Amino acid sequence: GSHDTMTYCLDKRSVNGNESKLLKYLNKWLPCIVRPIIMKWSTTQELTVTEQLEAGVRYLDFRIAHKANDPSVNLYFVHMFYTTVTVQDTLWQILRWLETHPREVVILACRNFDGLTKKLHHHLVARIKEVFQSKLCPRYVSMRSFFPPFFKNNILRILLIPRGARSGVNAMLSSFCSPQRNTSCHLLIFVSGKFFVAGINLTENLIYILGHPFGSLKKITLQSLPCLKIWIKQQHPGSQKDCINIIAGDFIGNDDFVKYVIELNEKI
C-alpha cells in the first residue's frame, strides 16, 4: 500500500485552511520561505496513482477534503497542501486502470473528510456512483466467500473502506448496495474493519519541520529503508491478531518496497 497516495501532485499555492495557526501565520508573512520547506515534508509519493498501481500497490490511502472558502463542490486530496487534481478525476484514472487489469483487487481507504458538509458527502457519494455505476456490491459480504468465486470468474473488484468518516457517512455509502446487484461484473464493497493495516511511514510535526529546513521526508525515509526491509520480512500475513494484511509506506517506488511486501504472500 501507499501512504498518502496523492501527495505527488500537491499544490504549494494552496495551503490547507485547517492547519495550525502557526502555519497559517508563517504562510501569510513568509510564503516564499515556508511553502518550499513544508512541501518537502508533505510529499510522501513521487509516482502517479497509475504508476503506483503498475508498481504493484493495491491499497490507496486517500485523505479527502474540501477547500476552505471554495464555493464549488470540487473535492481534493490533502496533506498540508491541497492537490492539483480532484477526487473525481482520480477515480476515473483508477477505473481506466482496472478495466485493463480484470483480475486485480484495489482497496481505496478514504479518510479525513476535512471541510465536507452533509451536502458534500452526498456529492462524494454521487461521484463514486457516477464513476463505478453498477460495479457495486452488498456491504455485508464475507471475505472468505467473496474472493474465490470472483477470482474464478475473472471479475474485477474494488474494495472501498471509509475511515474516520462523520456519523452517517458509512450509512450513506452502503445505501448504494443491494443484494440484487451482486451479479455485476465490476464490484465495489465496503469492508471497514476487515483488514489489518500497518503504516510504516515516519511522522513529523511542524516544529521539527521548521527546525530542519534543509531536510526532507524523502531523505529520512530512504535512510530508514534498510531497517524497514528487515521488519517487513519478519511479518506474517493472515487473520490472527499478530498478523498483517496490508503494509503502507512512503515513496513506494524506492528500494523494492512493493516486492518485499508481495513476497510475504509466500508465507500463506
4: Cβ contacts below 8 Å, ≥ 6 apart: 44, 45, 61, 63, 79, 201, 250
**How far are the Cα atoms of 69, 95, 212 from residue 164, in angstroms, in the given order?**
23, 24, 31
* Distance between CA atoms of residues 168 and 159, nearest Å: 19
Could you give the 3-state DSSP secondary structure of residue 245?
A: coil
Q: Residue 220: is it exposed, middle or buried by C-beta count within 10 angstroms (0-12/13-18/19+)?
A: middle
Active-site residue identified among 3, 66, 121, 123: 3
137 close to 182: Cβ distance less than 8 angstroms: yes
Q: Residue 158: is it exposed, middle or buried by C-beta count within 10 angstroms (0-12/13-18/19+)?
A: buried
| Annotation marks residue 79 as catalytic | yes
63 close to 77: Cβ distance less than 8 angstroms: yes
Q: Which of 126, 50, 55 is nearest to 88 (CA)?
A: 126
184 close to 137: Cβ distance less than 8 angstroms: yes
Q: Which of 36, 142, 130 is nearest to 80 (CA)?
A: 36
Active-site residue identified among 66, 79, 121, 186: 79
| Annotation marks residue 101 as catalytic | no
Catalytic residue set: 3, 79
